[in-house]
């Protein structure tokens, strides 16, 4: 969330609630729900690290708003993060562990595991297809692209199950 | 409920280079009225063979095929021709292969459209399965769609009425008077779909109907198939694409000529939770 806030503040100064709304607009249903506590904790840490600074703006008849803006160090940190190529594992696959360990230990039959996983992936494909179809066609493309990415991964996972079946299971 | 399409222990062995290839091994399949079933599996798993045998495009080595309760694998080619006009609609991946028509069929088509009576057609046994040939390049969209109705004996008024309703349903009314080559791939497949449905077939057989389309057209054709199914059309669709397969109520997974699994697709899971289980934003 740190870099998301830095990026939003790179556009213009904002208070906490505006940041929450901007995130929800940008990522649609993809971002997990944010509560006020998370937002202000993150902002406090960014301020402690010198990446943002804040000041109170008085409001007539109401408590003042705390408005945050990016510091030069904050802008630099954002640019370094954005420019870095994204490396490291992007898939966590517990299923692979299960198949290999089942094969090793005999605690379960790999063909049954693969079959169950194929059912799960197919059902997930349908669910995500429904989710994609439920998005407004003229809405922001971010959510649709994210869902398409997940669907492509599922399609790859299904092909990979066929490979597991071919190579791990003798005399299928 | 009695199945609209059923196979019993259906097998097919080819001998492409002398050696026997068992394309299909004792497959039992039942498609209930109004059901949408997809057959999925890697290439060579036998799914297209299953579809072809189900529609009489090929003959089984052994086993039985029933359409609306009647055994059909024993029918003569002429018997199948009559049945296909009425009971089976086909949609294929390649919708524009005029090369599939014989020279005689190409020459006779305009004459057929010009008003030869349906009895005369049947007597001559002309163009026995136009319905599953693909769009005919020198005919308009309207004529392509009406052709199977005329061949099945509908009056020209009735054929026009059904054609207009289908083109409206598929949102291609404005394309009625142009030839297929002026249409996009997705539009051509919609015409092929209209043509396959014009005789209100008992079952629609679809072989990779989105295999030749871009993702947008593919989604549109799938949405149309789903809508036809909601209106009661029974559909059997084969595909190697899991995403296409997942639009059905039931997915049959094939491998090595055999049915390995049958998967019922449920409604009502929380898609947000599913999404989060596959990929998460990381910042």
Angle between helices A141-168 and A110-134 (to 10 degrees): 160
Between A32, A118, A150, which is nearest B278 by CB? A150
Q: Which residues contact A88 (CB under 8 A, 6 or more apart)?
A: none
pLDDT 10s digits, A102-156: 989 989 999 999 999 999 999 999 999 988 888 888 877 888 898 999 999 999 9
% of residues, chain B, pLDDT over 90: 28
Token duo for residue A7: 């990026």
CATH annotation of A2-83: 1.10.10.10
Between A127, A146, A149, which is nearest B271 by CB? A127
d(CA A94, CA B67): 45
Query: Percent helix, strand and coil across chain A, each rounded to 5?
Result: 65, 10, 20
% of residues, chain A, pLDDT over 90: 53
Residue to substitute from B216, B260, B279, interface A, most A β-carbons within 10 A: B279
Q: Is A12 helix (H, G, I), strand (E, B) or coil?
A: coil
Cβ(A30)–Cβ(A146) under 8 Å? yes
Does residue A56 carry a pLDDT above 50?
yes
CB contact under 8 A, B261 and A119: yes
pLDDT 10s digits, B188-210: 888 888 877 877 788 888 888 88
Work out the pLDDT band at B229, boundaries 50, 70, 90: very high
Q: Can you give the pLDDT at residue B101?
A: 39
Per-residue DSSP letters for B168-217?
A: HHTT-GGGTTS-GGGS-HHHHHHHHHHHHHTT--SEEEEESTTTTS-HHH
Counting beta carbons within 10 angstroms of the beta carbon of residue A154, is it exposed (0 to 12), middle (13 to 18) or buried (19 or more)?
A: buried
d(CA B253, CA B243): 13
Residue-range domain boundaries for chain A: 2-83, 94-168
Between A125, A133, A150, which is nearest B242 by CB? A125
CATH annotation of B5-278: 3.40.50.300
Token duo for residue B242: 């899991």
Among A91-105, B67-81, B114-128, B145-159, the range of highest mean pLDDT: A91-105
Q: Which residue has the higher pLDDT, B32 or B269?
A: B32
Cβ(A81)–Cβ(A3) under 8 Å? yes
The shortest C-alpha distance from A105 to chain B (Å) reads 25
Tokens 């997809």 appear where? Answer: B38
């Amino acid at each position: 969330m740190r870099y998301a806030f830095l990026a939003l503040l790179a556009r213009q100064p904002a208070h906490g609630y505006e940041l929450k709304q901007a995130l929800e607009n940008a990522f649609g249903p993809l971002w997990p729900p944010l509560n006020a506590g998370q937002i202000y904790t993150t902002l406090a840490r960014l301020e402690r690290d010198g990446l943002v600074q804040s000041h109170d703006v008085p409001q007539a008849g109401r408590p003042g708003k705390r408005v945050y803006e990016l510091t030069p160090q904050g802008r630099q940190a954002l640019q370094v993060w954005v420019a870095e190529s994204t490396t490291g594992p992007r898939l966590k696959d517990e299923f692979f562990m299960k198949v290999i360990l089942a094969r090793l230990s005999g605690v379960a039959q790999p063909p049954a595991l693969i079959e169950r996983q194929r059912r799960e992936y197919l059902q997930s494909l349908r669910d995500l297809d429904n989710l994609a179809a439920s998005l407004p066609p003229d809405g922001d493309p971010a959510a649709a692209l994210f869902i398409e990415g997940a669907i492509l991964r599922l399609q790859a996972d299904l092909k990979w199950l066929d490979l597991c079946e071919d190579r791990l299971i003798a005399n299928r | 409920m009695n199945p609209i399409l059923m196979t019993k222990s259906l097998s097919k062995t080819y001998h492409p280079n002398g050696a026997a290839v068992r394309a299909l091994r004792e497959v039992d399949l039942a498609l209930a009225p109004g059901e949408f079933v997809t057959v999925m599996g890697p290439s060579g798993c036998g799914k297209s063979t299953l579809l072809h045998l189900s529609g009489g495009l090929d003959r089984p080595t052994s086993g039985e095929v029933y359409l609306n309760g009647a055994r059909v694998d024993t029918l003569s080619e002429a018997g199948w021709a009559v049945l296909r006009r009425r009971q089976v609609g086909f949609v294929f991946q390649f919708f524009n292969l005029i090369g599939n028509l014989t020279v005689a069929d190409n020459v006779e088509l305009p004459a057929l459209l010009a008003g030869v009576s349906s009895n005369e057609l049947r007597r001559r046994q002309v163009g026995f399965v136009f319905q599953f040939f693909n769009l005919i390049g020198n005919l308009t969209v309207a004529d392509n769609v009406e052709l199977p109705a005329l061949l099945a004996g509908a009056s020209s008024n009735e054929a026009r009425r059904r054609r207009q309703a289908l083109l409206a349903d598929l949102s291609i009314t404005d394309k009625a008077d142009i030839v297929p080559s002026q249409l996009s791939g997705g539009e051509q497949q919609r015409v092929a779909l209209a043509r396959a449905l014009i005789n209100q077939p008992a079952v629609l057989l679809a072989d990779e109907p989105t295999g030749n389309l871009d993702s947008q057209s593919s989604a549109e054709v799938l949405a149309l198939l789903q809508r036809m199914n909601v209106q009661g059309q029974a559909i059997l669709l084969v595909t190697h694409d899991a995403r296409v397969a997942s639009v059905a109520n039931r997915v049959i997974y094939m491998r090595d000529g055999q049915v390995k699994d049958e998967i019922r697709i449920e409604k009502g899971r929380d898609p947000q939770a599913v999404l989060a289980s596959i990929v998460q934003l990381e910042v």
